[in-house]
């Protein structure tokens, strides 16, 4: 049984979730301390809890399968939200399903879904991407791919990496692409920022994991010819300055403009490297 738990406010626990936790023979959880606080809120003792987190999930699977074969009722929870959605649980579910076991769920809180609802963006379609690759070629390729998607993009980010990610997003998506940044959902200091990616770069401080909802690529496609036309209107500037200015004006990625501007001096000698 997968049991969704509150993402901040313990009052969001559902009656059915409480009943399932009360009736479980074993509760598989990320952190016994976090789950212990939830159980105490429900008037339950933290008994028969086993740790199933990102480090232990794989090795705990045989024990969980044996518990199920023995007829035990196992509830799988994560620290906050729905197990398997940017949290441990995916491998457990796959293994139980492969073994022919029964899996049910008590649906409930989910930070990505809550952030989408709060974003204020037009979200006929969106894609949940979770965390971006930390760096290197994989990060650049993922950003370039997502920048062209007509669907809104939902990302997760930690507070200490938010500033860097905001800068990377502004460079890839264009500084004027709209974004909603939601942190501390359902808690006392819940915060929702709505603005552009370049504005997010200036407001990237704070505490708590952040959910980013970035609007999809505009239907009006900016062609290379459009960019070259803007480049021709610039005066004697460096490639870097031209790229910054045209990127800001058109709302396209700086890297795209920069690549075109590097070759542009042949046509406009006033643009210098």
**pLDDT reported for residue 272:** 46
Count Cα neighbours of 155 within 13 Å in the Cβ-side half-sphere: 28
Q: Cα angle at 39 between 33 and 43, to 5 degrees? A: 135
Token pair for residue 108? 């409930």
Q: How confident is the model at residue 130 (pLDDT cuts 50, 70, 90)?
A: very high
Neighbours of 251 (CB within 10 A): 18
Mean pLDDT of 149-162: 93
**pLDDT reported for residue 212:** 97
Mean pLDDT of 225-243: 76
pTM: 0.76
Give every CB contact of residue 138 below 8 A, 6+ residues apart in sequence: none
Sheet with 26-29: list strands edge to edge. 49-51, 26-29, 74-76, 2-3, 105-106
Give every CB contact of residue 136 below 8 A, 6+ residues apart in sequence: none
pLDDT digits (tens, 9 = 90+) for 20-79: 999 999 999 999 999 999 999 999 988 899 999 999 999 999 999 999 999 999 999 999
Mean pLDDT of 141-154: 92
Mean pLDDT of 213-241: 78
> Residue 267: pLDDT above 50?
no
């Amino acid at each position: 049984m997968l049991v969704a738990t509150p993402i901040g406010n313990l009052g969001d626990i559902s009656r059915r979730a409480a009943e399932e936790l009360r009736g479980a023979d074993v509760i598989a959880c990320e952190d016994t301390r976090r789950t212990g606080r939830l159980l105490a809120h429900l008037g339950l003792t933290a008994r028969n809890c086993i740790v199933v987190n990102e480090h232990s999930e794989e090795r705990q699977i045989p024990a969980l399968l044996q518990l199920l074969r023995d007829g035990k009722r196992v509830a799988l929870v994560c620290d906050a939200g729905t197990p398997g959605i940017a949290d441990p649980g995916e491998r457990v579910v796959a293994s139980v399903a492969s073994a022919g076991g029964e899996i049910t769920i008590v649906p409930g809180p989910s930070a990505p879904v809550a952030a989408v609802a709060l974003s204020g963006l037009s979200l006929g379609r969106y894609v949940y991407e979770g965390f971006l690759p930390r760096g290197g070629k994989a990060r650049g390729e993922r950003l370039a791919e997502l920048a062209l998607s007509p669907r809104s993009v939902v990302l997760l980010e930690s507070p200490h990496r938010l500033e860097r990610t905001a800068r990377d997003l502004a460079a890839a998506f264009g500084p004027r692409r709209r974004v909603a940044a939601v942190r501390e959902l359902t808690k006392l200091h819940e915060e929702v920022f709505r603005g552009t990616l370049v504005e997010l770069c200036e407001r990237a401080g704070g505490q708590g994991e952040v959910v980013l909802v970035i609007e999809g690529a505009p239907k009006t496609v900016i062609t290379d010819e459009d960019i070259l036309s803007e480049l021709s209107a610039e005066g004697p500037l460096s490639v870097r300055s031209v790229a910054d200015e045209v990127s800001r004006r058109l709302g396209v990625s700086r890297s795209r403009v920069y690549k075109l501007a590097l070759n542009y001096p042949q046509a406009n000698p006033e643009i210098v490297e």
